[in-house]
Amino acid sequence: MSTQQVGRLAMRVEGDWWVAYYAVPNSMKNAVLLGKIHMRFVQQNHRKTAFMDLMREAVGDILEDITGERPIWPFEPQQAPEHERSGRA
């Protein structure tokens, strides 16, 4: 099993929505929209975590279909590259 990064879960605030995308490691070009949820529903940490977990499973399904293996997620979420940050958390 290799440990190369073939994609990532990118979470972005877009207006009043928290939006999840599957994207290649260093770009949002051609990112795949996975889902979105209104920000008011993810103000509590357990709800935010539940949405992120669901989106990780979606990315896991995509990568398993492509590579035959499920991804191994880092223990802590990684910060988005500076050029992708919205300035709103």
29, two tokens: 């070009």
Q: How far apart are the first and last CA of the chain?
A: 34
What pLDDT, on a 0 to 100 scale, did the predictor assign at position 52? 92
Per-residue pLDDT of 24-55, as tens digits, reads 888 889 999 999 999 999 999 999 999 999 99
2, two tokens: 């290799």
Mean pLDDT, the chain, integer:
83
Evaluated on CA atoms 59, 62, 85, 88, the torsion sign reads negative
Could you say which DSSP state residue 86 is in? Answer: -
Q: Which residue has the higher pLDDT, 61 or 6?
A: 61
89, two tokens: 């958390």
What pLDDT, on a 0 to 100 scale, did the predictor assign at position 89? 43
